[in-house]
Amino acid sequence: MRILVVEDETRLAQNIAAALREGRGYAVDICHDGEEALLICETASYDLVILDLMLPKLQGEEVLRRLRRRDGDTPVLVLTAVAEKQSTIHLLNLGADDYMTKPFDLGELIARAQALIRRGKGVKQVQLRVGNIELNPADQTVRVHDRILDLSPTEYRILEYLMHHPRAIVSKRELLEHLYDFTWEHHSNVIEAHISNLRRKLRNASELTVLENRRGRGYLLVTQSEAGA
């Protein structure tokens, strides 16, 4: 999952990004003004935008208006210094999905971000299943035959993404863009290692589900009966 943090206070932006990366393993990009935010949103797809209202070059309200005019689906969590009722109503009417008043608790921000991402993707607290593998997004556990599969955070995120796209070939670039921020090029040489470890763990635990490598195209999660098709 990929998040854009639009905040002109550098330290606060970095703290938010660090909390999201460490707390839930999200990929996070940062920008510091409204014009840059709109430009980035034109070139990349995000699962959530965290948007401060007081921004240089273009105010957060105008950024929100323009985002909603061209993209009605991406959830937007607004950060505001004003807690008045009329201001809150105004933000929601502009298209904000949620808001938090500064100062705020980073743990609460992570929880709200997670809820908005689930809502934006239509993902509720339900398990994903491919073959005999069950993944629970709520507690981030993977089970095979009621036994928890021990995965690293990156392996879990790869498997979660693949299970959201069953029987579809997912390219290496697509995986990298959803796993990492704009520095993902530095991780491109290690993605194969994560895939290899994940494939081995799935092979050892499950006789019904296969992670295939389609050379030059990407990766495919299928049941054993569909493998090689």
Give pLDDT tens digits for 119-156: 765 444 567 888 889 998 767 789 988 889 998 877 88
Model confidence over 123-133: pLDDT tens digits? 445 678 888 89
pLDDT greater than 80 at residue 54 = yes
Predicted local distance difference test score (pLDDT) of residue 123: 45
Query: Domain holding 174: CATH number?
Result: 1.10.10.10
**18 in the same domain as 85:** yes
User: What are the DSSP E strand ranges found in the chain?
Assistant: 2-6, 27-31, 48-52, 76-80, 98-101, 128-130, 133-136, 141-144, 147-148, 209-214, 218-223
β-pair type (218-223, 209-214): antiparallel
- The residue count of the chain comes to 229
Q: What is the pLDDT of residues 163-179, one digit of tens each?
A: 888 888 988 888 877 76
Question: Last residue of a domain, which of 67, 100, 120?
Answer: 120
Q: Which domain holds residue 111?
A: 2-120
How many domains are there within the chain?
A: 2
Looking at the structure, do residues 106 and 133 belong to the same domain, yes or no?
Answer: no
pLDDT surpasses 60 at 8: yes
Residues 15 and 115 in one domain: yes
**Co-location of 92 and 149 in the same domain:** no
